[in-house]
Structure 1
Amino acid sequence: MAPGATMMQPMPLQPVRDDIDNTWEYLQTGITKIMMNLQDGVDMRTYMGIYTAVHNFCTSQKAIGFSASSNISSGGHRGAHLLGEDLYKKLTEYLTEHLRGLVAESKAHTDEALLAFYIREWHRYTDAAKYIHHLFRYLNRHWVKREMDEGKKSIYDVYTLHLVRWRDVLFAQVSIKVMEAVLKLVEKQRNGETIEYNQIKQVVESFVSLGLDEGDSSKTTLDVYRFHFEKPFLEATKGFYKNESKQFVAENSVVEYMKKAEARLDEEAERVKIYLHPDIAVSLKKACDQVLIADHSNILRDEFQVLLDNDREEDMARMYSLLLRIPDGLDPLRSKFEAHVRNAGLAAVAKVASDADKLEPKVYVDALLEIHTQYQGLVKRAFKEEPEFTRSLDNACREFVNRNEVCKSGSNKSPELLAKYTDILLRKSSTGVEDRELENTLTQIMTVFKYIEDKDVFQKFYSRMLARRLVHSNSSSDDAETSMISKLKEACGFEYTNKLQRMFQDMQISKDLNTGFKEHVQSLGVKGLDSSYSILGTGFWPLTPPGTTFNPPEDIMADYERFSRYYRNKHEGRKLTWLWQLCKGEVKANYIKNAKMPYTFQVSIYQMAILLLFNDKDKITYDEIASTTQLNTDSLDPSLSILVKAKVLTVSPDGEKVGPGATFTLNYDFKNKKFRVNLNVGMKSETKQEEAETNKTIEEDRKLLLQSAIVRIMKARKRMKHQQLVSETINQIRGRFVPKVGDIKKCIEILLDKEYLERLDDDDLGYLA
């Protein structure tokens, strides 16, 4: 029947209501109009005619049933069932024949023409199905519903029946060819051609619509779409990229391949957004990652070292992004990165460490920071601050900070040099570093400090240097000092900085004490020296008593005794130990000829005692100086040597070394560019001695720290295996330093001897209260 002719014929009169053949003949005319020419519209007469015919047929047998008996007989139900089933079967047969005709038509089309045909007929068919579904509403509501309620699996509502017949008749015959046409179109696009991708999108929608849940016709699944679309699409995708990537790698560099792979992955992601179903996104990504990245991961990883060596940051970022997409793709990169950073750090230190004893702390710390800053930037920009790459950076930095050319043989040079550099920054200097710049530098100091394993070594050196800065009022600023201590406290806790903070408190208390002392001297009406005193708590300051006897000059002795009496009156029972080696002062040189103004010498207390002897005579022998000051040679000789070197004193006979037999004469012709001359400078021998003492103190403190940790652990646990105790001790102590197993075992033996611990059976140790 020609499509045009059907619309010209008027609908026949309503059929006999219980005659299936008569009813179907009537319905078929209207259904064919809807199936073939829905775009021309359906008039109300036709619409109502079909609806009424379906209603009349489905209710006819029920009426017969009521007239036959006063009761609703089972035969009546069977009659309604049979007539409903006949109508359902007629519609099913009609749809089957209609679709077979479309299958025959489809054979005349291929590729894009087939897609156009399929899409056109799909839309015509599904639009008609929606109309027919409404027209057969009575059949759906009663007969179909009852059949489905009774568990019949092959019965569907009318719209779903249309989809089932499309799937089983037409789709089963043409889906492979349709999919082949889709894949050809996609391949064209992948090869750079412009396509009408809307066709693919509509095919996808069609395949998705055919996913019917056989167990529950009201639900849909993606089974049809996944089997008939996703599966062949993914296979074709893998095949295309497998061939393309293999050829591209053979003809281009690894870097160019990464750019190509990156572009292809972006294209596929965009393809999902534009015309594919979202369900395919994960599977498509996985397939592309496999053929474009995983299959070529070895050549990518081999290229990573080349990129590192040449600082190819952009290309490293690209490689990171690619290998991040596959399981364990980045592990080999992290290992290579860690080794590279470690070697770079070791090389940087070796470059500046020609002589470790003469190595400037700033040069050393800057070398460490330069490497860290360089590769931290790389981790941030190229590796998106990924935690595992950050861990690799930290591991590498920890290695080259603690085990390098300067720190060989397990020395404590790194924390020592870091503390010295901090001291340089925090001391008053003529460079005039701005507060903001100083704060930034201190923050960088903490970056290196984070990697230092022997944090107790840093603490010892830092506290000694802080003590000197505070005692000599030589800090650049209290704010900077406080900021540094806050940073250390944040990094290591309150206990680490407790003594440092107490040192600051002592200095504040000393200021108040000095104010009171000056008022006391004024009340006595005595003209004392312009002096100030610092009272330093023995348990908090890393200072030792002087290593020599000393007889202070009379003027100083009088002030010293006056202050001692004042302090004892305020704090009865406290004992003062005078740290003469840290005392300093200023003396005016009024004796020098041709001087425009008197020179002021900044001197240690020992130098002051020596110079004040020359108030009585111009020449004094070494023995006289030693006898009067009571200084031993270790303290006297360096003090005299500096005065001679500065030409404040001359020694005779000419060229005589400082020592017994030498005579010292006041130099009246002394000249200097500055009128304030600092003679209170430390000798290298003093510095080395102090370093040796500090290192010795560190070792002693470590033994005590280990013993206290062992006792603390055993007190809590009461009984432990020897090996467990060693491991637990290492875990507790490693925040301060990395203890050696041998040292821990020695400490355990000491505690056994002291009867803090006892040996039990099975290599167990017990705690003795």
Structure 2
Amino acid sequence: MAMLQGNSKTFDNKWPKMQPIVLKLLGQEPVSKEEWQDLFYDVHTVCLWDEDKGVAQVHEALKNIISNFIKNAKMKVKMNDDNSALLKAYISVWTKFFEQCLYLPPAFSTLEKSLESSDNNLGMKKNESRNIIRKLMLDSWNEHVFCDIRHRLQDSAMILLKKEREGISFDSQLVIGVRQSYVNLSSDADDRLKIYREHFESAYIKATQDHYQSEAPAYLSENGVIKYMKYAHKKLREEEDRAERYLEATSVPILVKSVVSTLVEKFLMTILSECLPLIRQNNTEELNLMFSLVDRIPDAVTKILEVLESYIVDEGKINMHESREIITADSEKYIEKLLSLFERFSKLVKDSFNDDPRFLTTRDKAFEIVVNDRSVFELDLNTKTKSSATKIPPESRCPELLANYCDMLLRKTPMSKKLSSEEIETKLKDVLLVLKYVSNKDVFMKYHKAHLTRRLILGTSADNDKEESMVEWLREVGMPADYVNKLARMFQDIKVSDDINRKFKEQSSNGSDIANIKILNAGAWARRSDRISVSLPTELEDLIPDVEEFYKKNHHGRKLQWHHLMSNGIITFKTDCGQYDLEVTTFQLSVLFTWNQRPHEAITFENLRLATQLPESELRKTLWSLVVSPKTKRQVLLCNPEVSSPKDFNNSTLFSVNHQYALIKNGKVQKRGRINLIGRLQLSTERTREEDNEGIIQLRILRTQEAIVKILKMRKRINHAQLQTELVEMLKNMFFPQKKLIKQQIEWLIEHKYMKRDEEDINVFIYLV
């Protein structure tokens, strides 16, 4: 009993000495080094020697003295009625008290250790057990001060913020100080912002919402949508800046979302109603403002995307139809119109929507519809024959016109002559840009190859380096390797042919200088049509065996096939007016040589057919090119009677050489000169055009079958929807496979045992090994 009595007296003896020091610390009064050390010693002594009661007594006494101090502080704060004065008083008192939450606990560290090991601490969290005294101080402040005047503090802070929104300045540190007290007041180790979030953050957001719910509708009604967007944008920026000053970082996005809901989402449909008019007016500044507002709302920007896509499609089609008469007659104008539209739409997306990827995708999707629209240009690939297994709907002629435009740039034309190398390259890159949006790229490649063939055979390329660069650019934009490789092989063949010609001329003296032989690889150049027979002049007929013999000596196992349709030459034409060099096709040459031994005779159509051995259709076209040439004022041949089209020729129509033929420049007859009668070298007959179209269709069928098998081989099992999606993705670089085509090829592959339908689900396909 003596021991217990001694311990009880230890607290009673020590506390009267400890209490004044604690009060000094709470009141931020000077404490001497000796007093500070005595406090540490006395707390240690009581907790060590009076452990049963002393610990509880010190804890309870400390709690009471802190509570009494806080109550006195609260009275000082509540004496202030003015909002600013209240906040200043509270912040002043709180700041001093919070500082002591750092200085007082170390003196009672022994008490905290004793409490940690006592039964009183069994329900306490681990982190809280290390800060018992600090928690005691904060909880006491919360209980006696904060809970009592919390609403006054919040209301006073919100009133000051309202004044700031109205343009009235105040000391921002008042609101910041209150915010910091809410943040620091929490003693919850797991959630330091709990009190701040439950009270200050929620009050701040509610006050902000109330302010704009009252102000925004009236402003919109009085000023209209355009001015309201500027108002909303300005207020959003202000509230973001304000939130960064007065709120914790985690609260800023919550506040901004709330303001966006109040200022933008509530009036979304009204704002979006101005989208199409602004686009039509090309009001990029206001559109950019609208985008910045609407993009803050999840998925709301989809509405703008829909409006933009519709506008680009409609505007593109309208522009193309308005220029129909010009662009249908001039591929250059057509491409320039497309490029100007693309540039215009791209500028709209850049200036209005900051080149946002979603808007770039929408632009591409819409422009693709414009490019592939067939209401102005229509290309029907279906043939008159019944051999085609698939009838496909008409397509846009855009790829054909793109190929024509490339030809104008790469061939020796007035256009290519007046442009610099850099300008030609730029225009070719523009063509490739448009080509990216063409769905039937295989048609472009077909026409481009035909034009390239003419240029290489006739030697009319403006720049050989540009020709080869174009092939590489086609590879870079994703054209299939087999197409591009064939084009590259064509250049290689021309170079090899030059070497063969040189060697042939060195080894032969039998007229080898009258011809330039081009040995072309059938895989890269060959056409499906049968070769057209024609009777050649004796000089050329005699040369053919020599060429074949020479070639066989140097290349074993290869067979030569002569394609006169792809040949041309230069002949000397003497008339009463002068002597002229005529550039002619092989068919024109054969016709003109008929008069070589009888220059003044008139020959009938039937006799010309027998002499030249040309098919009637080709003979008609050839004679028409000599009777009606737009390049010359006087024609090489005359016909009797005169006709208006090659169809009007009959077997008895007479043709004769025009001995008054002459080259006329500036109204004067030229005695010498060179005239090109070839025009656009006819590399295709009506039959071969049919075959070209048939070839495109058949190749699409094969490509579709190949892609389906490739997908099934990889997947083993696949449903119809997924198959179609992957198929389109695989083939889109050449053409867009129609659903009908896909369906037909699936049935063909099932019939031929490449795949089968699942017995339980007919929409699932299984690969057959």
Q: 1:206 aligns with which of 171, 181, 186?
A: 181
Match of 2:79 in 1: 108
Larger Rg: 1
Q: 1:317 aligns with which of 288, 295, 302?
A: 288
Pair 1:507-2:494 in alignment: yes
In 2, the alpha carbon distance for the partners of 1:164 and 1:267 equals 36
In 2, the alpha carbon distance for the partners of 1:255 and 1:610 equals 75
Pair 1:639-2:622 in alignment: yes
Deviation at 1:721, TM superposition (A): 8.8
Pair 1:439-2:459 in alignment: no
Deviation at 1:737, TM superposition (A): 2.6
- Asked whether the 8 Å contact 2:637–2:657 carries over to 1, the reply is yes
- Asked whether the 8 Å contact 2:757–2:766 carries over to 1, the reply is yes
- Code of the aligned partner of 1:401: V
CA deviation string 1:328-355 (max 9, x = no partner): 1111111111111111121122122248
What pairs up with 1:325-404 in 2 under 5 angstroms?
325-354=296-325, 358-404=328-374
Pair 1:225-2:196 in alignment: yes
Match of 1:738 in 2: 736
Q: 1:413 aligns with which of 397, 400, 412?
A: 397
- Asked whether the 8 Å contact 2:639–2:653 carries over to 1, the reply is no
- Code of the aligned partner of 2:492: Q
Pair 1:628-2:638 in alignment: no
In 1, the alpha carbon distance for the partners of 2:62 and 2:719 equals 86
Match of 2:663 in 1: 671
Secondary structure in 1 matching 2:296: coil
What pairs up with 1:193-592 in 2 under 5 angstroms?
193-213=168-188, 221-354=192-325, 358-407=328-377, 410-431=394-415, 432=417, 433-490=419-476, 491-521=478-508, 525-543=509-527, 548-589=532-573, 591=575
Identify if the C-alpha distance between structure 1 residues 760 and 44 changes in structure 2 by more than 3 Å, giving closer, same or farther: closer
CA deviation string 1:140-174 (max 9, x = no partner): 34456656754457985333322221111111111
- Asked whether the 8 Å contact 2:331–2:401 carries over to 1, the reply is yes
- Asked whether the 8 Å contact 2:454–2:681 carries over to 1, the reply is no
Secondary structure in 2 matching 1:252: helix
Deviation at 1:305, TM superposition (A): 0.9
- Code of the aligned partner of 2:160: L
Identify if the C-alpha distance between structure 1 residues 141 and 740 changes in structure 2 by more than 3 Å, giving closer, same or farther: closer
Question: Once structures 1 and 2 are overlaid, which stretch shifts more, 393-402 or 245-254?
Answer: 393-402
Flag structure 2 segments of 5+ consecutive residues without an equivalent: 1-6, 379-392
Deviation at 1:582, TM superposition (A): 2.0
CA deviation string 1:90-134 (max 9, x = no partner): 121112112222222222213110000001101222233433333
In 2, the alpha carbon distance for the partners of 1:83 and 1:753 equals 98
Match of 1:174 in 2: 149
Identify if the C-alpha distance between structure 1 residues 231 and 638 changes in structure 2 by more than 3 Å, giving closer, same or farther: same
CA deviation string 1:215-247 (max 9, x = no partner): x5xx65211111120011111111112222111
Question: Once structures 1 and 2 are overlaid, which stretch shifts more, 691-700 or 713-722?
Answer: 713-722
CA deviation string 1:347-377 (max 9, x = no partner): 1221222488x43222222222222222223
Identify if the C-alpha distance between structure 1 residues 290 and 680 changes in structure 2 by more than 3 Å, giving closer, same or farther: same
Question: Once structures 1 and 2 are overlaid, which stretch shifts more, 672-681 or 286-295?
Answer: 672-681
In 2, the alpha carbon distance for the partners of 1:262 and 1:760 equals 58
In 2, the alpha carbon distance for the partners of 1:247 and 1:759 equals 64
In 2, the alpha carbon distance for the partners of 1:248 and 1:483 equals 60
- Code of the aligned partner of 1:278: A
Question: Once structures 1 and 2 are overlaid, which stretch shifts more, 706-715 or 610-619?
Answer: 706-715
Question: Once structures 1 and 2 are overlaid, which stretch shifts more, 619-628 or 326-335?
Answer: 619-628
CA deviation string 1:558-600 (max 9, x = no partner): 333322221222234433222212211222345553x5xx532
CA deviation string 1:164-185 (max 9, x = no partner): 2111111111111111111111
Identify if the C-alpha distance between structure 1 residues 291 and 618 changes in structure 2 by more than 3 Å, giving closer, same or farther: same
Deviation at 1:547, TM superposition (A): 6.3
Identify if the C-alpha distance between structure 1 residues 720 and 258 changes in structure 2 by more than 3 Å, giving closer, same or farther: closer
Larger RCO, structure (CA 8 Å, separation 6 or more):
2
Match of 1:30 in 2: 21
Deviation at 1:635, TM superposition (A): 2.7
- Asked whether the 8 Å contact 2:749–2:755 carries over to 1, the reply is yes
Deviation at 1:474, TM superposition (A): 2.2
Secondary structure in 2 matching 1:80: coil
In 2, the alpha carbon distance for the partners of 1:485 and 1:237 equals 63
- Asked whether the 8 Å contact 2:454–2:683 carries over to 1, the reply is no
- Code of the aligned partner of 1:321: S
Identify if the C-alpha distance between structure 1 residues 148 and 327 changes in structure 2 by more than 3 Å, giving closer, same or farther: farther
Match of 1:604 in 2: 585
Identify if the C-alpha distance between structure 1 residues 544 and 192 changes in structure 2 by more than 3 Å, giving closer, same or farther: same
User: Under a length normalisation based on structure 1, what TM-score does the superposition of the two structures give?
Assistant: 0.85
The number of equivalent residue pairs is 724
In 1, the alpha carbon distance for the partners of 2:526 and 2:323 equals 31
Deviation at 1:438, TM superposition (A): 2.5
- Asked whether the 8 Å contact 1:188–1:194 carries over to 2, the reply is yes
CA deviation string 1:616-650 (max 9, x = no partner): 44313233544433334433333333333332435
CA deviation string 1:492-547 (max 9, x = no partner): 331342322322232222222112112112xxx44533421112222322535576
Secondary structure in 2 matching 1:619: coil
**Percent identity over paired residues:** 27
Deviation at 1:612, TM superposition (A): 4.1
Question: Once structures 1 and 2 are overlaid, which stretch shifts more, 316-325 or 480-489?
Answer: 480-489
Deviation at 1:290, TM superposition (A): 1.0
Secondary structure in 2 matching 1:677: strand
What pairs up with 1:41-60 in 2 under 5 angstroms?
41-59=30-48
- Code of the aligned partner of 2:700: R
In 1, the alpha carbon distance for the partners of 2:459 and 2:332 equals 23
- Code of the aligned partner of 2:330: E
- Asked whether the 8 Å contact 2:575–2:661 carries over to 1, the reply is no
Flag structure 1 segments of 5+ consecutive residues without an equivalent: 1-15, 63-78
- Code of the aligned partner of 1:310: Q
- Asked whether the 8 Å contact 2:18–2:39 carries over to 1, the reply is yes
Secondary structure in 1 matching 2:570: strand
Identify if the C-alpha distance between structure 1 residues 725 and 247 changes in structure 2 by more than 3 Å, giving closer, same or farther: closer
- Code of the aligned partner of 1:380: K
RMSD: 3.5
Identify if the C-alpha distance between structure 1 residues 656 and 209 changes in structure 2 by more than 3 Å, giving closer, same or farther: closer
In 1, the alpha carbon distance for the partners of 2:513 and 2:697 equals 42
